[in-house]
């Protein structure tokens, strides 16, 4: 099997996995809080809103690339004078583009409620999101085994597949719970979040098979912020998700160095087990956080990617509506 043929087979496999509802992943899994866990929606202080974007590009060195884009917004609500809000609202949009042949667009909105009081030394919150998932497929851009004959590919040969529809709209419901230590007098503040995606388990088949359901996805992130001194903080953590007999586990460490009240640098790395090593570098200035990651593939696919991995960046702005309005005047 030559390299080009292997690439086609890999893409077929990827498309098959996608058609069977394995969700896309992001290396910066915690960059957009409202996307990570609905219970984190609007759970922040000293700001009126938080807006973010994220972009991932991978497999560009192969036959076609796969890209993921995210836009998100959330905010606390119900503030009264100096009192801290216990409610948050927000939402996000995600677009997954697989080689221009298969696309998944998700849009959800939701809210979170802080169970603990603002005076507690830890935060416990719950959140709920609801929205829609739109999937579409361009079968004329897919490759099927029936189109291979004696080791040669012929796009004019029949695929042997019968798609009942080229798009699907499904409901999406996400539930989450979150815990975070917020005691600034302590050097160690742990955190943990658990969320459940696709709770409605909707039918998703393009082939008219009613028994094909979008499986529930379980997502867990745990870690701890360890403050060494006023300038240095370490953040070891684990992120894991599981969906229909497929799992992903990321383990790693991130370090923060604060130059002053306005500027902070963070760097570190994660290992996505049996898949990739992830290098991370980020910078926070005032109320803007920018992070960039690069995945170094460690799986069997690395021999076909020419040593190239996945590139990803995120940009998050946390600010005051009044200050933004005044800046426009």
pLDDT along the chain (329 residues), means of 10: 43 43 82 97 91 88 77 86 76 89 92 92 96 83 66 67 73 97 94 96 72 89 96 97 92 97 96 93 96 90 71 94 63
Per-residue confidence (pLDDT) for residue 259, from 0 to 100: 96
Distance of alpha carbon 254 from alpha carbon 223, whole angstroms: 11
pTM score: 0.84
Distances 85 to 5, 12, 114 between C-alpha atoms, Å = 57, 49, 8
Per-residue confidence (pLDDT) for residue 80, from 0 to 100: 46
Per-residue confidence (pLDDT) for residue 20, from 0 to 100: 45
What homologous superfamily is domain 3-328 in, according to CATH?
monomeric porin ompg (2.40.160.40)
Distance of alpha carbon 180 from alpha carbon 223, whole angstroms: 10
287 within 8 A of 306, measured Cβ to Cβ: no
Pairing state between β 49-58 and 66-77: antiparallel
Distance of alpha carbon 207 from alpha carbon 163, whole angstroms: 5
| Sequence-separated (6 or more) residues with CB below 8 Å from residue 225 | 181, 188, 189, 190, 191, 233, 234, 235
Distance of alpha carbon 81 from alpha carbon 59, whole angstroms: 50
Per-residue confidence (pLDDT) for residue 13, from 0 to 100: 43
């Amino acid at each position: 099997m030559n390299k080009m043929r292997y690439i086609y087979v890999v893409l077929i496999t990827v498309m098959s996995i996608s058609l069977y509802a394995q969700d896309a992943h992001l290396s910066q899994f915690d960059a957009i809080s409202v996307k990570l866990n609905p219970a984190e929606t609007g759970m922040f202080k000293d700001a009126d809103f938080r807006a973010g974007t994220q972009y991932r590009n991978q497999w560009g060195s192969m036959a076609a690339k796969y890209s993921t884009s995210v836009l998100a917004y959330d905010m606390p609500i119900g503030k009264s004078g100096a009192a801290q809000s216990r409610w948050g609202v927000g939402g996000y949009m995600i677009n997954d583009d697989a080689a221009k042949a298969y696309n998944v667009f998700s849009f959800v909105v939701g809210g979170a409620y802080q169970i603990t009081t603002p005076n507690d030394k830890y935060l416990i919150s719950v959140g709920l999101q609801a929205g829609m998932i739109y999937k579409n497929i361009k079968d004329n851009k897919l490759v099927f085994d029936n189109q291979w004959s004696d080791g040669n590919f012929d796009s004019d040969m029949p695929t042997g597949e019968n798609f009942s529809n080229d798009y699907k709209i499904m409901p999406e419901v996400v539930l989450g719970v979150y815990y975070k230590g917020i005691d600034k007098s302590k050097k160690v503040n742990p955190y943990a979040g658990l969320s459940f995606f696709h709770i409605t388990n909707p039918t998703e088949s393009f082939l008219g098979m009613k028994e094909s359901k979008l499986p529930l996805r379980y997502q867990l992130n745990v870690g701890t912020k360890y403050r060494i001194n006023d300038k240095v903080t370490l953040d070891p953590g684990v992120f894991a998700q599981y969906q229909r007999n497929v799992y992903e586990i990321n383990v790693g460490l991130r370090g923060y160095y604060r130059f002053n009240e306005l500027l902070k640098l963070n760097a570190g790395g994660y290992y996505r087990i049996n898949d990739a090593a992830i290098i991370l570098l980020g910078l926070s200035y005032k109320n803007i956080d920018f992070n960039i990651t690069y995945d170094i593939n460690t799986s069997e696919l690395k021999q076909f990617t020419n040593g190239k991995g996945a590139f990803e960046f995120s940009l998050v702005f946390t600010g005051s509506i009044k200050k933004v309005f005044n800046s426009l005047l």
